[in-house]
Chains A and B, each alone.
Chain A
C-alpha cells in the first residue's frame, strides 16, 4: 500500500489555479523530490499534504486514512507529518534544546542529545539560541526537531536553498542518510533539478499545477514525457525527424529509437553527452566546426551538421578546435510522446 496518495487534487486561489487535478502516490520508505519552476504549485502541494491548506477538489490519503477530502479533514497537528521549512523556522524565543523538545513526549536531555548526534551536531550546542547558529546548524536542528516525533512522512520545503553550494551537498547527503536510517518517507520540494536528481528515488515534475510525470530520476531524465520536461532536467537536443523501422536518420547520424515506435514524423531527444566528436574519418557523419570557446575543463564547440547548427560542451582535453570532426552517437534516442 502506498504511504501517501493524492487523487485529482485541485487548489485555486481566486482565479489562479495553483494545483490542477494533481495525482501522485508515494511508497513507504522512499524519497520523492517534487520539482517545478516557481509558481508551478509545488509548495501548494506540500502545504496541502501538511494540512495548512484545504484542497478544493480531490482527496489525500495517508496510508488508509483520508486526511483531506470530502470525507474528512485532519488538522495539521494531528497528521503526524514532519516538516522542515526553508530556513528552519526555529522558535527564536527558545534555545536549541527546547526547540527540539517542543514536540517530544520524552523531554529528557538524553533524548535531545541523541537527536543532536543523529543530525551530526555536538550536544553542547543544546543551550544555544537559534540566532547564535549558522544557517546549516539551524537546518540540522530543524531536522532533529521534526525527527523527534518519529513521523511516518517528512516534508522538506527547499531546506537547502539558503545554504551555500558546498554545505548544501553535505546537508543533502546527511538528510538522505538520516531518513533512510529512520525509515522515514521523505518529500523534498525544490526548484533545483540537480538536487532533485541526486536526492530522490522518485521524481515528480509539476508544470502549471499538474503532475506531468513521476518516476525514477533515471526514467525522467532519459525518457521525459514533454519537451519542456526534457529541457527542465538538463541540456537536451530535440530533433524533428522521420522514424522508420525503429530508427531515424538525423543530421547527427542514424539513431535507434526502439522498435515499438510508430513510423512517421516525431520529436527525438538526445542528451548532449550522447554526442561525441572524434577525429574525422571518411564515411561518417561530419561536423563542421564553426567556433570553439575554451572554458577550463570544457570547451563549447559550435558546429554545423547537415543544415543545422549545434552547440556542445566537449571535454577540453580532446575538443576539436577547427576543421571537421566525425560524430558518434551513444545509446538510443528518446521519442517524446507529445
Chain B
C-alpha cells in the first residue's frame, strides 16, 4: 500500500513536469465531474420519492379529511403505544448496552472475547423470528411487555456495537490521569468515560428507535399495535386508501421527532483522541466479587437473546423431523431470496457509487445536499417506502404494480444509506494520486477512476453488496406489500406459515435466514470498529 503510494507520488511529479507541454489532464474536471454529479443527483431525486409522496398526500387530502383521519382516538392510541415503546426500550437498551460493552471491553471478565461475540450474535436473528420463538415458548408474553422484551433483545447490539468500539479506542491515559487527580474508579466512570460514550450511545439508541418505528413482524406477533402494523392492516383492508397514507404521514413526523431528539441529546461534538501517539493497551479492571454477577448478567442476556430462539428452533426442527424439509418449496424460497438479495445488493451499491465518490473527492455544499438526500431514506420506515411505491405504481404507472422491478427499487431506496457509508470509507482510503497517475499514463478519466480507486475499493464494494444483500434477505414489510403474486422469499414464506400457526413448518425457513445472516454480524462488527476510526 505504502509502496504503491510512493510510486504514485513519483509518477505525479513526473506528470506535473510534462504537463505544460502536453494537454493538462486534471482528475475528472468538467464535464466528467458534472456527469457524476448528475448521476448522484438522479439517485437523490429518486430517493426523495417517498418523502414527496407523503407531502403530496398531506397537501392534497384537504383539511377535512386530515382532521377526520388524523385527529381520531385510533391515532392517539397508536401514538401513545409508540411513545411507551420508545420511552421504555431506549433507556433500557442504552443502560444495558453500556454495561455489557464495559464488561466485555474493560474488565477482566473470563472469556471476554467470546462474550463480545455473543453480544453481537442476535444481529443474525430477524426480530420477527425472535417473536415467533418467544411466542411458542411463552405465549403469555405479549402486549407492551412482550414488545419491549423482544425489541430489547433483538436491537441491543445496535447500542452495544458502537459503545464497545468507542470503549476500545478511548485513550487509557485519560483514566490514568483522572486517577492521579484523586478520582475513584466509580467517579472516573461517571465523569470521564461516560461523557465520551454519549455520541455512540445516542447513535445506537437512534438506530433502535428507528427500528421500533419501522418494525412490523415483531409487533404483530406480540399483538402490540404500532403505526407500522396499523398501516399494513389498513392497507390490506383497502389498499391505496387515504387512511393508510395519512397514518404514514404521522409516522414520518414521529421519525423526524425522534431524529430531532437525538440531535439535541448527542450535542455537536465527537470526542476524539488528542494527539497521535500509539494508544497503550488498557488495563482491564479487576471484577473481584462482582465476577459472578457480571457473568450471570451476560449469560442471561445471551440466553434470552439467542438461547431461547435457537432452542425453540431446535425443538421445532426435531418435532418436525424430515417431513418439514420440503426441499422443493424451501429451495424455491431460498433461490428467490438469494436472487433478490444479490440483484438488490449490486444495484444498490451501483446507485451509491457516484455519491460515495463525490463525497470523498469533491466535498462541498452541493455534495452535502445530495448526500443528505441519499441518507435520509435510511431513517424512513420501510413501510413508508413501500406505501409510496405502491400508491405511485397504482396511480401513475400501473404496469409496474406488483413487479419484481418495483420491489427491487424499494430495496435500493431502503438500503442506499447502508451501501453509501461502507463505500465512502473504502474510497477514502485510496489516495487520489493513483487516479492522477493512471491519467498521466494515458487512461481517460472515468477509466482511471474505475481502474484505480474502484479497483482498490473492491473489498469495500463487496462488503457493501453483502451488507445490502443480507438486509434484503431478511426484509419482510416491504416485501409483503410490494412482491409480485406468487413471490415466496424465505421471509414471506416464514411469515405465511406462522400466520397459519404452522410453527413447525416455519422452522427451516427461520434457520436458513439465521444461517444466511451470520456473516452480517461479522461485517457489522468490523464496520462499527472502523467507522469510529475514520
Chain A residues proximal to chain B, CB less than 8 Å: 50-53, 75-83, 85-93, 102-103, 130-131, 135, 138, 142, 145-146, 148-149, 155, 162
Contacts and interface: CB of A to CB of B under 8 A. Distances in A.
B98 to A, nearest CB: 16
A135 B275 contact: yes
A103 B184 CA distance: 11
Contacts of A90: 177, 274
B529 to A, nearest CB: 20
Interface string B336-365: 000000000000000000000000000000
14 contacts: A52-B176, A52-B283, A77-B182, A80-B182, A89-B173, A89-B176, A90-B274, A91-B192, A92-B273, A93-B271, A146-B180, A149-B181, A162-B276, A162-B277
A86 B173 CA distance: 9
B272 A89 contact: no
A102 B181 contact: yes
Nearest to B184: A77
Interface of B: 171, 173-174, 176-185, 191-192, 195-196, 269, 271-277, 283
Contacts of B177: 83, 85, 89-91, 142, 145
Given A87-B277, A102-B181, 16 more contacts: A50-B179, A52-B283, A75-B179, A75-B184, A77-B180, A79-B180, A83-B177, A85-B177, A87-B274, A91-B174, A91-B177, A92-B271, A92-B273, A131-B272, A145-B177, A145-B181
Given A52-B283, A92-B274, A130-B274, A81 B180 contact: yes
A85 B274 contact: no
B65 to A, nearest CB: 49
B274 A76 contact: no
Given A52-B283, A91-B192, A162-B275, A85 B173 contact: yes
A129 B276 CA distance: 17
A44 to B, nearest CB: 11
Interface core residue of A103, A138, A162 (most chain B CB under 10 Å): A103
A50 B271 CA distance: 26
A88 B274 contact: yes
Contacts of B173: 85-87, 89
Contacts of B191: 102
A174 B283 CA distance: 32
B396 to A, nearest CB: 51
Contacts of B283: 52-53
A5 to B, nearest CB: 20
A93 to B, nearest CB: 4
B176 A93 contact: no
Contact of A93 (B182, B185, B196, B275): B196
B206 to A, nearest CB: 20
Give the 7 A-B residue pairs with the shortest CB-CB distance, closest first: A103-B181, A87-B275, A89-B173, A83-B180, A76-B179, A89-B177, A92-B271
Given A88-B275, A90-B274, A146 B196 contact: no
B180 A82 contact: yes
A76 B277 CA distance: 23
A52 B272 CA distance: 23
A162 B179 CA distance: 23
A145 to B, nearest CB: 7
Contacts of A51: 179
A90 B192 CA distance: 10
Nearest to A161: B277
Given A93-B196, A149-B182, A86 B274 contact: no
Given A52-B179, A83-B177, A131 B274 contact: yes
Contacts of B192: 91
Contacts of A103: 178, 181-183
B195 A50 contact: no
B322 to A, nearest CB: 51
Interface core residue of B176, B183, B192, B196 (most chain A CB under 10 Å): B176
Contacts of A130: 274
Contacts of B275: 86-88, 135, 138, 162
Contacts of B182: 77-78, 80, 103, 149
A92 B196 contact: yes
Contacts of B171: 89
A93 B180 contact: no
B272 A76 contact: no
A130 B171 CA distance: 14
A223 to B, nearest CB: 35
A94 B390 CA distance: 51
A102 B180 contact: no
Contacts of B276: 162
Contacts of B178: 77, 91, 102-103
Nearest to B194: A93
A138 B179 CA distance: 19
Contacts of B277: 86-87, 162
A141 B182 CA distance: 17
A326 B354 CA distance: 76
A4 B192 CA distance: 29
B349 to A, nearest CB: 35
Nearest to B179: A76
B196 A83 contact: no
Contacts of B184: 75, 77
A145 B178 CA distance: 10
A155 B181 CA distance: 12
A85 B196 contact: no
Contacts of B174: 89, 91-92
Contacts of A75: 179, 184-185
A145 B275 CA distance: 18
Given A89-B171, A93-B196, A77 B179 contact: yes
A138 B274 contact: yes
